[in-house]
Amino acid sequence: MSAPIRLSSLTRCFQGVVPSIIATCDGRGMPNVTYLSQVYFVDEHHVALSCQFFNKTRRNLDENPLACVELYDPLTLEAYHLRLKFLRSEKSGPLFETMALRIEAIASHTGMTGVFKLIAADVFAVESVDLVHGFQTRAAEVATEGASLDGMRTELRGLQWVSERINRAPDLETLLQIVLEALEEFFAFSHSSVLLYDAAAGKLVTLASRGYGPSGVGAEVALGEGVIGIVARERRVLRLTALDADLRYGRAIRREAIGGSAGRKLDAEIPLPGLPDAQSVVAIPLAVGDRLIGVLSAEDRDPMRFGEWHEAYLEIIGNQIALVIDRMLSRAEEPSSDGAAVCPPGHAAAAALPLPATGCRRRFIYYKTDDAIFVDDEYLIRNVPARILWKVLGEAQRGGRTEFSNREMRLDPALGLPPVKDNFESRLILLRQRLREKCPDLQLVSTGRGRFGLRTNTAIELVER
């Protein structure tokens, strides 16, 4: 006789890579069978199923509480039967919120907010767990995943390595770069990004990315929109696996809903920032207390790339990053004495890059209505960073001025910086990054604490429209 199967040993089955199925039965003895979007492991004796529509399965459970669920291991494709008994529906509380967050992220991503949502988390007692013998006729060749002790040690070393470097980072730009490098070096997270929250605009702005090419930086996500926006709004970690299956499921609902009255209220679909074919994503809120600092996000084409261990690990790193970012932003806001600016070690060296010898002429156009700057007819930047650049370029052209202080920018009402927590430093980083990508022969280099300078070897033409 084989040993009983522990529910917790079926972790892979709960990731939703291969959709599970459920059979129920109504009061007249007619069965019903359907796919499930999510089977949530609660504890060794309970699972929860997501109730998104008052469908036949849900109505059957009111008449007969028994159910049978078939789960599949996505690596071996072994099947398991869970015999369940419906206990209760939870419409609030930690379980409901955790399940709702995942569904809301998918709904938001497919423009289905308000239509595709969790009604209740239905909790079941698990009466038995059995392997479906004979489902697979041969053993699949599987590279078994798992947190081996070696793996754990590597990750702990990674934590130590990241911590050291985070604490030694001389400035915000270097810090963000270090974090993403470390994630790639130790965990092979090759597609990751950090977004910082701009409270005044209610948006997150990508300030550093790795694996996406230059276009990732500057991408914006509104609070509550898409996976990243929801993580930011809820200040909760979100790990999605088998994203493609979820998106197809969401899109199926969207198609159906468009045919009905719900179609009138649908939003346009928001493309995920990053990989167009991402299969899994983990997003971690960066927060200090209740205050949102930003979001750290990683994604991959492997549907099972991120496990619970990564989630826990990134949360630890995320807390640390949030504290350091907050400290750096607060430090940057402190008024500094103009005559006693001190450049932290490594600061200027990191900021100054050799200017390419182009000898060309650059044409900057500021569109007042859009609050955006284009360089040589290509979009460069908008909003506050655009106004900062316009002020700098204007003063340089009018009076030949090339040295500036953060403080004077903060005091200039025309720039529209919020009076507190203005994120000036992060706006400057974004501006520098965009210049690096679109106009490398013009740089804003750090010249000391709270100071920066304009460096260029190209002729500049300014046009305002």
Does 18 contact another protein by CB under 8 A?
A: yes
Report if residue 199 touches another protein, rule: CB under 8 A.
no
The verdict on 339 binding another protein (CB under 8 A) reads no
If the CB atoms of residues 93 and 259 are measured against another protein, the closer one turns out to be 259
Looking only at residues 259 through 278 of this chain, which bind another protein when binding is defined by CB under 8 A? 259-260, 262
Structure tokens at 264: 């009138």
Reading the block at residue 32, the tokens are 């019903």
Instruction: Specify the DSSP element, H or E, that contains 337.
Output: none
**Whether the Cβ atoms of residue 135 and residue 79 lie closer than 8 Å to each other:** yes
What are φ and ψ of residue 252, in 5° steps? -60, -45
Q: Which of 46, 56, 165, 391 binds another protein (CB under 8 A)?
A: 56
Q: How far is the CB of 386 from another protein (least distance, A)?
A: 42
Contact between residue 415 and residue 409 where contact means Cβ atoms under 8 Å apart: yes
For CA atoms 82, 87, 92, 93, the dihedral sign is: negative
Q: Which of 209, 215, 219, 204 shows the shortest CA–CA distance to 177?
A: 209
Strand-strand pairing, 280-288 and 192-198 = unpaired
Q: Which of 8, 31, 167, 411 binds another protein (CB under 8 A)?
A: 31
Q: Does 455 bind another protein (CB under 8 A)?
A: no
Nearer to another protein by Cβ, of 70 and 425: the residue is 70
Measured CA to CA, the distance from residue 136 to residue 392 in angstroms comes to 68
Among 156, 252, 341, 459, binds another protein (CB under 8 A): 252
Rounded Cα distance, 250 and 118, in Å: 13
**Of residues 58-117, which lie at the interface with another protein (CB under 8 A)?**
64, 66-70, 74, 76-77, 79, 81, 83, 115
Q: Which of 120, 123, 221, 257 binds another protein (CB under 8 A)?
A: 257
With respect to another protein, which residue has the nearer C-beta, 52 or 426? 52
Q: Residue 76 has which token pair? A: 């071996």
User: Cα–chain-centroid distance for residue 312?
Assistant: 15
Cα(410)–Cα(412) distance, rounded to whole angstroms?
6
156 binds another protein (CB under 8 A): no
Regarding 253 and contact with another protein (CB under 8 A), the answer is yes
Stretch that binds another protein, among 27-35, 161-169, 199-207, 214-222 (CB under 8 A): 27-35
CB 13 within 8 Å of CB 46: no
User: Could you say whether residue 297 binds another protein (CB under 8 A)?
Assistant: no
- Which residues in this chain contact another protein in the complex, by CB under 8 A? 18, 21-25, 29-35, 37, 53, 55-56, 64, 66-70, 74, 76-77, 79, 81, 83, 115, 132-141, 244-245, 248-249, 251-257, 259-260, 262, 279, 303
